[in-house]
Amino acid sequence: MLVGIRASRTLIVALSLIAAGLRPMEAQAAQRTTPPENSSDSTAWQRVLVYVVGALSTQIVQAAADTASQAWHLRLPSDEPQRRLLEMQLKTILRARPVTDSDAVIYTLDIGPISIHNDTARVTVSFDVTRRCPGSTRTTGFGNVDNVFIPRAPPGFWGAARSSGVLHGDRAGCPRNGR
């Protein structure tokens, strides 16, 4: 008798699942709706941070070889809930300190707000180096503007951040003899 009751329950559960079989497709489609634009996602931000560390590897190696802290302008979206954590991590990794008037070399890292559309997060990352020309008030340097994207695949998991294009620019060099 118990076997018959268990078999009946199993059959009822199986029939319920089969009958509801059309609904999971609708439920999956509903789950794929996009999060609101510029919503915070800590995992996506960590992927951006990993990308930035790779892009700034030369500066990180230099900072590791020099015990002095480096002058940095770190700019992150002011309304981003992850801002404090990202800023703390970047300051530690880059050995960053605030810029002073006496700094001959100033690094600037500007990370825009993250924008999530469908299965992709996007953010603009700008990096700039400004050097004072010896004996002059002029500066020289270079900079990059990088459009970074982070794909979400399989759904629910962020992949590695990648560049969809970098613009690089150099400023005029220092004049000879400080003029």
Please report, in angstroms and rounded to a whole number, the separation of the first and last CA atoms in the chain.
102
Q: Residue 121: which H helix or E strand, with range? A: strand 120-132
Cβ neighbours of residue 43 closer than 8 Å, sequence gap 6 or more: 158
Backbone torsions φ then ψ of 22, nearest 5 degrees: -75, -30
Residue 140 CA to residue 159 CA, distance in Å, equals 36
- The residue written with tokens 């979206």 in the block is 77
Average pLDDT of the segment spanning 147-167: 89
Express each pLDDT in 75-93 by its tens digit. 999 999 989 999 999 999 9
- pLDDT for position 177: 67
The mean pLDDT of the chain is 80
Nearest Cα residue to 96 out of 69, 119, 115: 69
